[in-house]
């Protein structure tokens, strides 16, 4: 695309470890946009070597001219490669390979949220020590450039809250349940058939993947270092179609949200099904899309929306990190922005507040026998635990079996809600386990 | 916030030209977030001098310790200042001062979309030549980091379409007209009283501000250099409450959209009131908020939402540019990303397609006498111009005066629509000027 012929500068050579879904996308994107990328960087970016255990499956794109090998270590040992991409996922051998690549002085780009959420401190320490870049844009929000935004775009503000829909599988399942009124297990089975959910879906549907991403978002948004295992995490297995229907009646949509708030004296970070007001932009984020809603002190709310997964969208985030590293290298620059946005030693220490100390509005549903005075007894227990009622739905009357009593509370303490539900569960007229879902009213 | 005491590094000294709404916000943000910014940059950023013609008005934040002067040139001549912020707006003396600051070897940060849309080529040439940074994140989308996103976050993809709500005043007016069913003039007068519209609102309501921003978005998104004066621009003065109501009935919301598409063989860029399907995220962007919806080849759709104006939000974008420049300077780096994302000499030449060649769906409204055969005559003219009808609303019957006939067309050529409307306007049964509003169906 250059207007005049000039000697082509040497390409930036990259090694790719993991030639799966995203890796294939990376090879495709780099080839399809080779000229545009060379215009941006000043030289082409080229995958020179690919390591994968499977050398035979047809990925729809030939590895050549890249050298294809089963030996990932050979990429790390190759002095021609400036950057190594890790896309094998999981903890090991990803951790070992990333650390080895850093030790060899290579910039590393990865999409591995689990690795960074759990071993981020060790890996970032190594990268800072060695003076190499560590890019992990693809680990959160797929192709949405949310990490770069937190580190650079919003660097002038102080971010105080993040509400994210960061797992496309869960959002697809909840959107479908909402639209079609079908139960979780059915919709999950369909999603598995369609390739939208894994055969073992627990990392997604139990909220673990969202918690991994939330750990990273929390660090980048607030400049703190939370411990991943301190993040309270609930998935969507227990979301019942009946609660989705009541939510709609009350003006809410149920989403699996990853929520982080900087309260000054403590950090709130949690993943759970959440009712959010219809009319809020997050409530309209459907299907397998992701969105991250960010509140800053000076900026107010901003939102970032896009495809949170998939081969090509995620590949664009990997390639954006490659371009950033290659742009730095083109001018011989040192590391400009540390992996967490601030040097790791400068992260504030902060503990995540225990969930028991959370204050929130709650949606509660009890299945109770349809007898006079039942609501009064439930309300009495709630009142006795300092929980005040905002509204009640008790529609079916004169039924034989238990009927639902739905209560929306005002702001209450999670600890009190837990105790009240346990007490209500012991009432003889109440059948089945009480259901509680947190409501997030103050999203704007 | 540093865990250990260490000698404080010298601050990055900045000169601010223009101590108005945004300038005041910049001073506030830099002071409020001084410690956080120092953690990010490795040293504080400090406004050392401020130039404004008005030295007396109380801005709610004292200029001191910055030196306050009426002499902008003295900031450019001050060798202590590494970066100059231009926030006076307009063409002159902004252009002269920005060029002088560049010539003096200073990085420049500006929010001046008009200057860059019209004189961008000259200014970027000067900045590239002198090897200084030119940041203008604040010029589009207020605090939304959309320019940085196009230059860096989406650098791995090829962007093919941008649909932006980029003028908060127009979006506020249209949102209020939609919600309250009131006419444009009324709502504008209210907005002026509330400070949401200027005393002379023409830059906003005539779409000029949106066109300035679209010129910049088009360059950054596609790597092309459109000529600002080639961008067809229509404002919202002629949007009638009755068309907003019919739009709703047809399932659309009217927004002032800035639209750019890279069609390969040509660029489409235009600003005009547009009907977009309800249910699309852009349709829900209310009040004075902005949002930019971007489509990439590999990434698919992404959206960026936030406050497009206002002192503090816009100030955060200015400060993000300051941080980026200061981060570069901290490691002594050369310019890493050129102002347009690619070197100006590498921008593709592309002309903006004439509007007459546009293909779009159209909303048409005619006021016609309520006589038999009127619709047939109108339909006949449309058909004769190769315009096919998707739906018709003709509700009031047996009226005395003219009644509205509303037609939604299938995809048609703008040139044909113009000719058909002129022909229909000449029909004796048609009263008043026909109304046409473009519909943007293919937003996903």
Helix axis angle, B113-130 relative to B94-103, nearest 10°?
20
**pLDDT surpasses 80 at A1:** no
CA distances from B399 to A203, B5, B62, B378 (A): 65, 83, 65, 18
DSSP readout, A381-409?
A: HHHHTT--EEEEE----S-SS-EEEEEEE
CA distance A342 to chain B (A): 5
**Residue A185: how many other CB atoms lie within 10 Å:** 9
Question: In residues, how long is chain B?
Answer: 444
Question: Using CA atoms, how far apart are residues B377 and B208, in angstroms rounded to an integer?
Answer: 37
The domain defined by B12-142+312-346 carries CATH number 3.40.50.720: yes
pLDDT tens for each residue of chain B, 444 residues long = 444 555 678 899 999 999 999 999 999 999 999 999 999 999 999 999 999 999 999 999 998 899 999 999 999 999 999 999 999 999 999 999 999 999 999 999 999 999 999 999 999 999 999 999 999 999 999 999 999 999 999 999 999 999 999 999 999 999 999 999 999 999 999 999 998 999 999 999 999 999 999 999 999 999 998 899 999 999 999 999 999 999 999 999 999 999 999 988 889 999 999 999 998 999 999 999 999 999 999 999 999 999 988 999 999 999 999 999 999 888 777 888 999 999 999 998 888 999 999 999 999 999 999 888 899 999 999 999 999 999 999 876 666 788 999 999 999 999 999 999 999 999 999 998 999 999 998 886
Q: Which of A373, A411, A213, A395 is nearest to A304 (CA)?
A: A213
Contact (CB<8Å) A156/B317: yes
**Mean pLDDT of the A102-128 span:** 97
Query: Strands, E, within B223-299: which ranges?
Result: 252-262, 267-277, 289-296
Contact (CB<8Å) A346/B29: no
Cα A87 to its chain centre, rounded Å, is 17
Q: Which of A106, A213, A255, A261 is catalytic?
A: A213
Helix (H, G, I), strand (E, B) or coil at A8: coil
Q: How confident is the model at residue A113 (pLDDT cuts 50, 70, 90)?
A: very high
Query: Strands, E, within A32-104: which ranges?
Result: 45-51, 67-69, 83-86
Q: Which residues of B touch A160 (CB under 8 A)?
A: none
Burial A420-429 (b: 16+ CB within 10 A, else e): bbebbeebeb
Contact (CB<8Å) A36/B296: no
pTM for the model? 0.95
Question: Using CA atoms, how far apart are residues B306 and A299, in angstroms rounded to an integer?
Answer: 8
Q: Which residues of B touch A155 (CB under 8 A)?
A: 37, 40, 319-320, 323-324
Q: Which chain B residue has its CA at the smallest distance from A327's CA?
A: B336
Segment A331-349, tens digit of pLDDT = 777 888 999 999 999 998 8
CA distance B57 to chain A (A): 22
* Bridge partner residues of B408 (DSSP): B363, B391
pLDDT of residue A372: 85
Query: Strands, E, within A10-149: which ranges?
Result: 12-17, 45-51, 67-69, 83-86, 107-110, 134-135
Contact (CB<8Å) B320/A154: yes
Question: Using CA atoms, how far apart are residues A416 and B259, in angstroms rounded to an integer?
Answer: 52
Question: Using CA atoms, how far apart are residues B188 and A124, in angstroms rounded to an integer?
Answer: 53
Q: Which of B305, B287, B290 is nearest to B176 (CA)?
A: B287
Q: What residues contact A26, with CB distance under 8 A and at least 6 apart?
A: A16, A47, A85, A87, A315, A318, A319
Q: Is B259 exposed, middle or buried (0-12, 13-18, 19+ CB in 10 A)?
A: buried
Nearest neighbour of B296 by CB, restricted to A157, A281, A316: A316
pLDDT of residue B444: 67
* Bridge partner residues of B332 (DSSP): none
Question: Using CA atoms, how far apart are residues B231 and A136, in angstroms rounded to an integer?
Answer: 38
Q: Which residues of B touch A322 (CB under 8 A)?
A: 156
Segment A349-406, tens digit of pLDDT = 888 999 999 999 999 999 999 888 899 999 999 999 999 999 999 876 666 788 999 9
Question: Using CA atoms, how far apart are residues B267 and B322, in angstroms rounded to an integer?
Answer: 32
Domain coordinates in residue numbering, chain A: 12-142+312-346, 146-308, 355-439
Helix (H, G, I), strand (E, B) or coil at A130: helix
> Is this prediction's ipTM beyond 0.90?
yes
Tell me the helix, strand and coil percentages in chain A, rounded to 5.
40, 25, 35
pLDDT of residue B432: 87
The DSSP H or E segment spanning B405 is: strand B403-409
Determine the Cα angle at A378 with ends A372 and A379, to 5°: 100
Q: Which of B410, B411, B377, B381 is nearest to B394 (CA)?
A: B377
pLDDT of residue B1: 44
Q: Which residues of A touch B42 (CB under 8 A)?
A: 343
User: What's the half-sphere exposure (Cβ side, CA atoms, 13 Å) at A329?
Assistant: 26
pLDDT of residue A2: 45
pLDDT of residue B2: 45
CA distance B145 to chain A (A): 5
Contact (CB<8Å) B155/A37: yes
Q: Which residues of A touch B36 (CB under 8 A)?
A: 158, 223
Q: Which residues of B touch A315 (CB under 8 A)?
A: 156, 298
| B37, B128, B282, B299, best to mutate vs chain A, most A CBs in 10 Å | B299
Question: How many angstroms separate the most distant Cα atoms in chain B?
Answer: 88
The DSSP H or E segment spanning B193 is: helix B184-193
**pLDDT surpasses 90 at A442:** no
Q: Which residues of B touch A148 (CB under 8 A)?
A: 148-149, 152-153
Contact (CB<8Å) A300/B313: yes
What sign for the dihedral angle of Cα A298, B214, A308, A436?
Answer: positive
Contact (CB<8Å) A305/B306: no
Which of the residues of B are catalytic?
213
Pick the CATH number of A355-439 from 3.40.50.1110, 3.30.70.260, 2.40.10.10, 3.40.640.10: 3.30.70.260
Query: Strands, E, within A52-195: which ranges?
Result: 67-69, 83-86, 107-110, 134-135, 159-165
Question: Using CA atoms, how far apart are residues A165 and A146, in angstroms rounded to an integer?
Answer: 12
Nearest neighbour of B346 by CB, restricted to A1, A32, A145: A1
Q: Which of B365, B332, B354 is nearest to B436 (CA)?
A: B365
DSSP readout, A286-329?
A: -TTEEEEEEEETTTEEEEEEEE-SSHHHHHHHHHHHHHHHHHHH
Q: Which chain A residue has its CA at the smallest distance from B30's CA?
A: A156
Cα A186 to its chain centre, rounded Å, is 24
Question: Phi then psi for B31, rounded to 5 degrees?
Answer: -75, -45
Question: Using CA atoms, how far apart are residues B292 and B220, in angstroms rounded to an integer?
Answer: 13
Instruction: Find the DSSP H helices in A206-280.
Output: 208-222, 241-250
The single-letter DSSP state of residue A110 is E
**Mean pLDDT of the A199-212 span:** 97
Nearest neighbour of A39 by CB, restricted to B313, B323, B342: B342
What sign for the dihedral angle of Cα A318, A323, A325, A326?
Answer: positive
pLDDT of residue B349: 84
Question: Phi then psi for B113, rounded to 5 degrees?
Answer: -65, -35
Q: Which of A269, A385, A157 is nearest to B29 (CA)?
A: A157
Tell me the helix, strand and coil percentages in chain B, rounded to 5.
40, 25, 35
Instruction: Give CATH superfamily name and number for B146-308.
Output: Dihydrodipicolinate Reductase; domain 2 (3.30.360.10)
Contact (CB<8Å) B313/A298: yes
Nearest neighbour of B40 by CB, restricted to A153, A331, A342: A342
Number of H helices, E strands in chain A: 14, 16
Burial A310-349 (b: 16+ CB within 10 A, else e): bbbbbbbbbbbbbbbbbbbbbeebebbbbbbbbebebbee
Q: Which of A243, A257, A244, A272 is nearest to A179 (CA)?
A: A244
pLDDT of residue B334: 84
CA distance A300 to chain B (A): 7
């Amino acid at each position: 695309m250059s207007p005049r012929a000039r000697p082509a500068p040497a390409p930036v050579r990259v090694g790719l470890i993991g030639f799966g879904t995203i890796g294939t996308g990376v090879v495709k994107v780099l080839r399809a946009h080779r000229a545009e990328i060379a215009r941006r960087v000043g030289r082409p970016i080229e995958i020179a070597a690919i390591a994968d255990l499977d050398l035979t499956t047809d990925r729809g794109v030939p590895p050549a001219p890249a050298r294809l090998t089963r030996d990932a270590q050979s990429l790390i040992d190759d002095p021609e490669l400036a950057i190594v991409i890790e896309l094998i996922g999981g903890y090991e051998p990803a951790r070992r390979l990333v650390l080895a690549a850093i030790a060899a002085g290579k910039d590393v780009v990865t999409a591995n949220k689990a690795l960074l959420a759990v071993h981020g401190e060790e890996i970032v320490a190594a990268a800072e020590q060695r003076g190499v870049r560590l890019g992990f844009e693809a680990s959160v929000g797929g192709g949405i450039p949310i990490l770069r935004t937190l580190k650079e775009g919003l660097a002038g503000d102080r971010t105080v809250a993040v509400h994210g829909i960061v797992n496309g599988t869960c959002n697809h399942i909840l959107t479908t349940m909402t639209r079609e009124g079908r139960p979780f297990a059915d919709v999950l089975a369909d999603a598995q058939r369609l390739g939208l959910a894994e055969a073992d879906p627990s990392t997604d549907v139990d909220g673990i993947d969202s918690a991994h991403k939330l750990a990273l978002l929390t660090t980048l948004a607030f400049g703190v270092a939370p411990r991943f295992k301190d993040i309270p995490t609930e998935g969507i297995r227990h979301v019942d179609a009946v609660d989705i229907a009541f939510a709609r009646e009350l003006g809410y949509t149920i989403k699996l949200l990853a929520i982080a708030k900087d309260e000054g004296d403590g950090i709130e970070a949690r993943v759970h099904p959440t009712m959010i007001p219809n009319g809020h932009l997050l409530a309209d984020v459907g299907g397998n899309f992701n969105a991250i809603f960010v509140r800053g002190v000076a900026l107010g709310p901003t939102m970032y929306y896009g495809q949170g997964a998939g081969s090509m969208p995620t590949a664009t985030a990997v390639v954006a990190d490659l371009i950033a590293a290659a742009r730095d290298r083109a001018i011989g620059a040192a590391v400009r922005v540390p992996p967490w946005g601030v040097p790791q030693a400068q992260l504030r220490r902060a503990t995540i507040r225990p969930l028991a100390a959370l204050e929130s509005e709650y949606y509660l549903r009890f299945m109770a026998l349809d007898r006079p005075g039942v609501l009064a007894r439930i309300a009495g227990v709630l009142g006795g635990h300092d929980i005040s009622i905002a509204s009640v739905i008790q529609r079916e009357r004169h039924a034989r079996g238990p009927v639902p009593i739905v209560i929306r509370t005002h702001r209450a303490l999670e600890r009190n809600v837990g105790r009240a539900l346990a007490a209500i569960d012991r009432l003889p007229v109440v059948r089945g386990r009480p259901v509680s879902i947190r409501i997030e009213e103050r999203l704007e």
